[in-house]
Amino acid sequence: MTSVTYHDVRFLEPAKTRNYLNVDYGAFSWLFTKDHKRIGILYMFSISIMFILGGFFAMMMRLELLTPEGDLLTSDTYNKFFTLHGIIMIFFFLIPSIPAVLGNFILPIQLGAKDLAFPKLNLLSWYLYMIGAFVGLLVIILGGVDTGWTFYTPFSTQYSNMHVFGTTFGAFIVGFSSILTGLNFIVTIHRMRAPGLTWFRLPLFVWAMYATSLVQLLATPVLAITLVMLMIERVVHVGIFDPALGGDPLLYQHMFWFYSHPAVYIMILPAMGVASEVVAAFTRKKIFGYKFVAFSSLAIAFLGFLVWAHHMFVAGISVYSAMIFSFLSYFVAVPSAIKVFNWTATLYKGSVSWQTPMLYILGFIGLFTMGGVTGLFLAALGLDVHVTDTYFVVAHFHYIMVGGAVMAYFAGIHYWWPKITGRMYPEWWARLSALLVFAGFNLTFFPQFVLGYVGMPRRYHAYAPEFQVLNVMSTAGASILALGYALPLAYLLWSLRFGRKAGVNPWGAVGLEWTTNSPPPKDNFHETPVVTWDAYDYPAMLKAMGETQNV
């Protein structure tokens, strides 16, 4: 066994061998692949379609809201559009985004493993995703669904005459795909680490994925069983959640948010993992407070389970439990803040290079912080009563989900694109898109904070005329944002053919994935690597490469 260390990295040349892309060809070699890298690509392809579809519904809503009158879409159509936007973006795009695409591709390589522990299960989870998404999308063709992505009862079970069953069934199936991915990752992290790769040498992306997987594993089944009860109630007409028949609609909300609040952490924890990787790579420093960042992921995963009823403060829950939930909600801010402070401290006196992934991640840090701090507003009982169901809430969670999770997803795609495809993306265009996304995002969602604070309710297709100026700003921002998201689609495809060859380690980054070829061979490494260095040991690497370090 030879050990590949960072001393050799610079001298590794892409060997003229077969890689995972050209090892075999044809549709069947992809549809029945057990290679985690190919499955990651399959996911990337599927969720990109979902992102475009969800984005379409978002754009239509923003266009409708350009004027105070409901003139582009009827109220029914608008209801369907915000429902489909939510369901597609959350269940079919954000939940699988970073874990299933980047996690699938990068995690086993970062561990020095040949594959995930259960490759067939991994393929099965992609098929479950596809079946669930297909069932969910069939609903669009059949006429849509108008319950909102939360499927609140009793509207969803007794009154809505649309395709609630199909949509919930689709979400139910996709849930199992998510569970299996989480299971696979946990076992892989426990059992498949390369020799020498101890827990505290793991990249922070792995720690983040571990915490994410715990949430997927322990929260998703509760959503699944809740949706089953919803479907039973809708089909058999018994009163599990229907007050007219003795049920309690608040129980549905409790159980739904027991999953759906931690689901936010399924989206944001992997994003934090990407941020740690990128910040270290583009400041050429060790992450400040490695152990704090690692354990704060686990703390977020656990604390995230204790706060769900802050979505229900005005729904009629006990005031006493509301106080407890409000109090507990503040605690989640602590580990999140630890991460932000540690990234910031890493930037301090680092030699920061302004490559695209770093631009996205700097955007991520800022926007996530804003989303988090406004989250604290909402966790405060009194203020929450004032802004519940207004655009303030909409703006808050978009800062977390789009400003946080999607920005980090794009950062990760750009950061690992050379590894995935073996080609560099065009840097100038990519920087432009990062700036457009940042500007467009803020123009879209910052006005919504103001709108919500002055009282514009969410989920209506018409509004009072005095809200128009801010709405026009928001729609204008959405157009810029759409352009920012469309650009990568074009230039990344372009780079597949015309991009510069990447080489083994285009960023000069530390980590096992940067010691193997780009694209990696089918089994990831020609020989099992032996790890002798700590995560993010950039100082040692720079020294080994004979460069002088700015201190």
Partner 1 sequence: MTAVVHGDDEHAHHPFLQHQFEDLGQQHEASILGMWMFLSTEILFFGGVLCAYWIYRVMYPQAWVLGGEQQNTLAGGINTIVLIISSLTMALAVRNAQLGSRRATVAMLIATLFFGSVFLGVKGFEYTMHWREGLFPGVHFTWHEVPELAPKVQLFMVFYWGLTGLHALHMVIGVGLLLWMIWRAWRGHFGPEYYGPVEVMGLYWHFVDIVWIFLFPFLYLIPHFGVHHG
Partner 2 sequence: MADEHRNEHAAPHHITPLTTYIFVFVARAAGTLLTWFASTVDLGWMNTPIALVIATTKAALVILTWVVVIGSFVWLGVLFVLTFADYLTRFWAIY
Coil, strand, or helix at residue 488?
helix
Cβ distance to partner 1 smaller for residue 318 or 351? 318
Query: Of 13-21, 211-219, 328-336, 432-440, which part binds partner 1 (CB under 8 A)?
Result: 211-219
- Which amino acid, residue 117? A
Query: In the chain, helix, strand, coil percent, each to 5?
Result: 70, 0, 30
Sign of CA dihedral 399, 402, 406, 410: negative
Rounded to a whole number of angstroms, the minimum distance from the CB of residue 189 to partner 1 is: 10
Rounded to a whole number of angstroms, the minimum distance from the CB of residue 9 to partner 2 is: 24
Q: Which does 240 bind (CB under 5 to 8 A by kind): partner 1, partner 2, none?
A: partner 1
Rounded to a whole number of angstroms, the minimum distance from the CB of residue 324 to partner 1 is: 17
3 binds partner 1 (CB under 8 A): no
Contact 308, 261 (CB under 8 A): yes
Residue 103: DSSP 8-state: I
Measured at the alpha carbon of residue 151, what is the angle toward residues 269 and 461, in degrees to the nearest 5? 95
User: Footprint of partner 1 on residues 76-115 (CB under 8 A)?
Assistant: 113-115
Rounded to a whole number of angstroms, the minimum distance from the CB of residue 529 to partner 2 is: 13
Contact 462, 70 (CB under 8 A): yes
Query: Of 39-47, 176-184, 311-319, 421-429, which part binds partner 1 (CB under 8 A)?
Result: 176-184
Query: Of 244-252, 268-276, 333-341, 401-409, which part binds partner 1 (CB under 8 A)?
Result: 244-252
CA dihedral 346, 348, 351, 353 (to 10 degrees): 80
Give the separation between CA 404 and CA 401, rounded to whole angstroms: 5
Rounded to a whole number of angstroms, the minimum distance from the CB of residue 319 to partner 2 is: 6
534 binds partner 1 (CB under 8 A): no
- Which amino acid, residue 110? Q
Phi, psi of 390 (to 5 degrees): -115, 180
Rounded to a whole number of angstroms, the minimum distance from the CB of residue 222 to partner 2 is: 7
Q: How many residues bind partner 1 (CB under 8 A)?
A: 43
Q: Which does 504 bind (CB under 5 to 8 A by kind): partner 1, partner 2, none?
A: none
Contact 293, 204 (CB under 8 A): yes
64 binds partner 1 (CB under 8 A): no
DSSP string, 78-117: HHHHHHHHHHIIIIIIIHHIIIIIIIHHHHHHHTT-SS-S
Site string for partner 1, 109-148 (x = CB under 8 A): ----xxxxxxxx----------------------------
User: Footprint of partner 1 on residues 468-527 (CB under 8 A)?
Assistant: 523
247 binds partner 1 (CB under 8 A): yes
219 binds partner 1 (CB under 8 A): yes
Contacting residues toward partner 2, per CB under 8 A: 190-191, 193, 195, 217-219, 222, 250-251, 254-255, 258, 305-306, 308-309, 317-321, 324-325
Contacts of 266 (CB under 8 A, 6+ apart): 95, 99, 178, 212, 215, 216, 219
Q: Which does 117 bind (CB under 5 to 8 A by kind): partner 1, partner 2, none?
A: partner 1
183 binds partner 1 (CB under 8 A): yes
Contact 108, 115 (CB under 8 A): yes
Residue 54: DSSP 8-state: H
Cβ distance to partner 2 smaller for residue 302 or 425? 302
DSSP string, 145-212: --STTTT-TTIIIII--S-HHHHHHHHHHHHHHHHHHHHHHHHHHHH-PPTT--GGGS-HHHHHHHHH
Q: Which does 530 bind (CB under 5 to 8 A by kind): partner 2, partner 1, none?
A: none
Q: Can you tell me which residue has the tokens 């977390």?
A: 400
Question: Which spans of this chain sit near partner 1 (rule: CB under 8 A)?
Answer: 113-120, 179, 183-184, 186-188, 190-192, 217-222, 224-226, 228-229, 232, 236-240, 245-248, 251, 255, 258, 523, 528
